[in-house]
């Protein structure tokens, strides 16, 4: 993944249904955290059997139409760990059947 190192820092970063588009979630999260000074919010798929099944079905359809795009379901525990390791504490969480929304604030 190419990241422009010249991107300015921001007080708030929101990744709304972005993490599921990248195979390297750790790289995406850590690079965006490095540019975030106060609030970090993200929405990504919950790691549940039916979410994985649906994501797999979508990936198959995309393969059939020769699209290079693939959706991903990443481990929420790992994502939370990467964020916490950078000094952010979870302040909000909302769950739907398929999505997990979290907001973190830097301590």
Q: Is the dihedral of CA 33, 40, 73, 48 positive or negative?
A: positive
Among the listed residues 24, 51, 43, 31, the one whose alpha carbon sits nearest the alpha carbon of residue 104: 43
pLDDT tier at 15 (50, 70, 90 boundaries)? very high
In a domain, 78, yes or no: yes
The whole domain housing 102 covers 10-106
pLDDT tier at 4 (50, 70, 90 boundaries)? low
In a domain, 2, yes or no: no
The number of domains in the chain is 1
In a domain, 45, yes or no: yes
In a domain, 91, yes or no: yes
In a domain, 71, yes or no: yes
CATH number at residue 19: 3.40.50.150
Among the listed residues 32, 33, 18, the one whose alpha carbon sits nearest the alpha carbon of residue 87: 33
Question: Whole-number mean pLDDT of the chain?
Answer: 93
In a domain, 27, yes or no: yes
User: pLDDT exceeding 70 applies to what percent of the chain?
Assistant: 96
Residues contacting residue 31 through CB under 8 Å, at least 6 positions apart: 3
pTM of the model: 0.89
In a domain, 4, yes or no: no
In a domain, 70, yes or no: yes
Average pLDDT of the segment spanning 10-31: 94
pLDDT tier at 107 (50, 70, 90 boundaries)? confident
């Amino acid at each position: 993944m190419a990241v422009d190192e010249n991107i300015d820092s921001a007080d708030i970063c929101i990744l709304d249904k972005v993490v599921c588009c990248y195979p390297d979630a750790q790289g995406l999260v850590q690079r965006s955290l490095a540019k975030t000074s106060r609030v970090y919010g993200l929405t990504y798929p919950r790691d549940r059997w039916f979410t994985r099944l649906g994501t797999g079905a979508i990936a198959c359809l995309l393969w059939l139409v020769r699209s290079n795009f693939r959706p991903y379901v990443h481990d929420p525990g790992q994502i939370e760990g990467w964020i916490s390791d950078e000094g952010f504490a979870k302040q909000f969480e909302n769950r739907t059947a398929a999505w997990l929304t979290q907001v973190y604030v830097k301590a």
